[in-house]
Structure 1
Amino acid sequence: MNGPSERPPIADHSVAHQAVDLDGLVGDGPFAYCRGKLIGTPRQAGLVVPCRDLGDRDVFDGIIARYAQKFPGSDRRAIVSMWTLYYFSMLTIAPSVHMFVNRIALPMEIHGLSLVCNEQTGEPEAFVMSGSPEIAVDPAAELHRLMLGHAEPVISAIAANSGVAPKLLWNNAAAYLSWILKEIAHRHEPALVEGGLALLNDAEWPGGGRNPMFGMIRMARQQCGLEFARRKVCCLRYNLPGVGGCGEACPLPDGRH
């Protein structure tokens, strides 16, 4: 088990509001896969698009057209869903690690963030932040702000531009959020992410309003007694050639191959 004392959180830094080396904080440890996902300046290579512009149908269709070249003739809904799996993995995994482990509040609202896509494939590769990280006094509140300030508007925009149901997109986001919070709990302690898990398990958002992620991840049990997480809504990835199914996580038998 890796304890939270392995690397000092931002709250222990003498100057919390100066530039923070996010990649340095995760280092080569168990969350090394977060490196390079949240950056302060655009890379030389890659297509950079303001996240708010994903609501522009022409912009969104142009990105998806690049990604769709990997799956000629395939169901566009499945293509869009698969693309958002990359997007929501970046939106939930690295930010959750920094919020709950390093106690960093990140500027992740949709209007202050840009997306870096692979220039050839259109795959999401990183987010460029225009603001500066600060101390996270309440990580669960920061995660809630991320859901309301970014996940909600981007899901509405993508659903409107693609015909993919919002509940499918929310399930894509919930699947990664559930996974990373449980990873943090396993490697640190469950109490660390209790407030974050409530954003998946409570029927209402803090302060009121329906929680669109409620019930999206369900615990099931195999015949041998082993518990596993299963989605409520299929992500449709099994319709794409060369892409493996989700195994037991898929709610549809066809998607478990």
Structure 2
Amino acid sequence: MRLLLLNGNTDSGITARLAALAEEAIPRLGLPAAQVVPATAPFGARYISTRAAVAIASHAVLAGLAANLGPANEAGFDAALIACFGEPGIEAAREVFPLPIVGMAEASIAAGLARAPRVALLTGGALWVPMLEEFARVRGFGPDRVMVRGVTPTGDMIARDPDGAVALLAEAARAAAADGAGVVVLGGAGLAGLAPRVAPLAGVPVLDSFDCALSAALGGRAPRGAPAAQAPMLGIDPSLARCFA
């Protein structure tokens, strides 16, 4: 299998870290062997943390997919994973590209609800809390099914100092469990790989959203795109323009 791993942030260091984590996680999770091809969003925020950054990243994700896939997936990928918890542009991508496209939040909510009736999404950055609450609500999950919690450091801060974030994340996970969460999801590219360290301190199962997305992408549970006829676009990247021809 070939998996395109597209980081919706522009921090290439996080892309490299995710690619390394993927290589480690695939055998650990018992997934089919896969060639993981990492890519980074061509423009936008270093690490997405606001609605404006999400909006720009949606365009960047489409451009990044177009550059790596081609209009009809001529590159022959079996699936694409948008490695950004807010999943910028995922619905639009499924409308354009003819292959399964996975998002970290969607996959981890499904995995969490398969284990408990109420899930907590725990992420970095206070501004993500209302955005993810809206994300869950649009997909039909109220706070009785999916609650959202955040810690003050943003995901990129956590990625730069994971040792300093473990205790803070564990404290927030315990608080979410006290509020009724049966499973806690660590959400965000910057939090990938921390679940095994947080879980022993949390009192409830802790899932890694990146692991959940890999399992969906390589385990045959990825929603396949349904490309629609597109009107031509002007003034956009040539690779993406070909997808709207």
Q: Identify whether the pair has TM-score above 0.5, normalized to the shorter chain.
A: no
Give the TM-score normalised by structure 1.
0.29
Give the TM-score normalised by structure 2.
0.29
Say which one has the larger Rg.
1
Higher relative contact order (CA 8 A, sep 6+): 2
